[in-house]
Amino acid sequence: MPELPEVETTRRGIEPHVVGHRIRALRVHEPRLRWRVEASLPARVAGQKILAAGRRAKYLLLALERGTLLLHLGMSGSLRVLPAGTPRGKHDHVDLVLDTGTLLRFNDPRRFGSLLFVEGDPQTHPLLAGLAPEPLSADFDAGYLWRVTRRRRVAVKQLIMNARLVVGVGNIYASEALFRARIRPGREARRLTARDAAALARAIRTVLANAIRAGGTTLRDFVGADGAPGYFRQKLFVYERAGQPCRRCRTPIRRRVQGQRATYWCPQCQQ
DNA sequence: ATGGGCACCTGGCTGC
DNA sequence: TGCAGCCAGGTGCCCA
């Protein structure tokens, strides 16, 4: 499911329900996530107040009084705010019970998601330390993208999905951003001109921001904290549109596999 | 340093 | 109806 817009949608959805509240209990029903959830985790977080609900790349960060809960939704995860006592369903792996009784429930069919508790500055944690700047911050601009694309032979699509270089862009938004920037996904990153880099940096920001405004993209199972799907799917130009006419020029959209992931582009609009 | 491929999982869909 | 095969929104890790 989740790329940056879906994670940000989730963050905004849970924020008003969790910040300022104390954790009554953390109930782990299935610890076998991407990494096994430590058995000591519930005892370590119980009783702590949630100070903030943040995000870094595709990670959600719940700042507590003595540490940070780090949550990743993986490919199929979702986090919902539910009334006390809501019965559990399939793949409901973790419940965070607030002092109000409200539940923050983590569901993840594929279990690629993760949940960790880190003490100290979370930004120095190995999972976060090497991440590229936030694409919606001032640090991410034409100059930055220009610099990191120099001498790289990887296809530009794979480059913008590499979190050490660009963060928050997954398989959907990579194709969409490249369409917006009119750049072919298979082009070597180092072959971008300064003008291309500027167009791509701008396209990434615009696509992500627009998707956040629409509440994310729901292809199959993404839901926000309130259980509602995202509506950006209607605004996709190329993703999962192979064979259908380009929304700009009517040329059939093409599909190929790059780095084991499906890529979509318009052979007419993108060079 | 860079890049490619695999692994981790479940479920939905297609075609025989 | 059953089953095999393929596909799916992520990313850490191992190897060349």
Q: Is the CB of A154 under 7 A from strand B?
A: yes
Q: Is the CB of A171 under 7 A from strand B?
A: no
Annotation says A58 is catalytic: yes
User: How distant is C1' of C3 from CA of A263, in Å?
Assistant: 30
Annotation says A3 is catalytic: yes
The active-site residue out of A2, A5, A122, A135 is: A2
- Tell me if the domain spanning A4-129 has CATH number 1.10.287.40: no
Annotation says A2 is catalytic: yes
Domains A4-129 and A142-265 share a fold: no
Residue boundaries of the structural domains of chain A: 4-129, 142-265
CATH of domain A142-265: 1.10.8.50
Q: Residue A113: which nucleotide is closest by CA–C1'?
A: C10
The active-site residue out of A44, A111, A233, A261 is: A261
The active-site residue out of A55, A58, A241, A254 is: A58
| pLDDT band per the 50, 70, 90 thresholds, residue A253 | very high
Does A72 score more than 80 pLDDT? yes
Q: What is the pLDDT of residues A171-230, one digit of tens each?
A: 999 999 999 999 999 999 999 999 999 999 999 999 999 999 999 999 888 989 999 999
Q: What is the pLDDT of residues A106-157, one digit of tens each?
A: 999 999 999 999 999 999 999 999 999 999 999 999 999 999 999 999 999 9
Three-class DSSP labels, chain A: CCCHHHHHHHHHHHHHHHCCCEEEEEEECCCECCCECCCCHHHHHCCCEEEEEEEECCEEEEEECCEEEEEECCCCCEEEEECCCCCCCCCEEEEEEECCCCEEEEECCCCCCEEEEECCCHHHCHHHHCCCCCCCCCCCCHHHHHHHHCCCCCEHHHHHCCCCCCCCCCHHHHHHHHHHHCCCCCCEHHHCCHHHHHHHHHHHHHHHHHHHHCCCECCCCCCCCCCCCCEHHHHCCCCCCCCCECCCCCCECEEEEECCEEEEECCCCCC
Q: Residue A221: which nucleotide is closest by CA–C1'?
A: C9
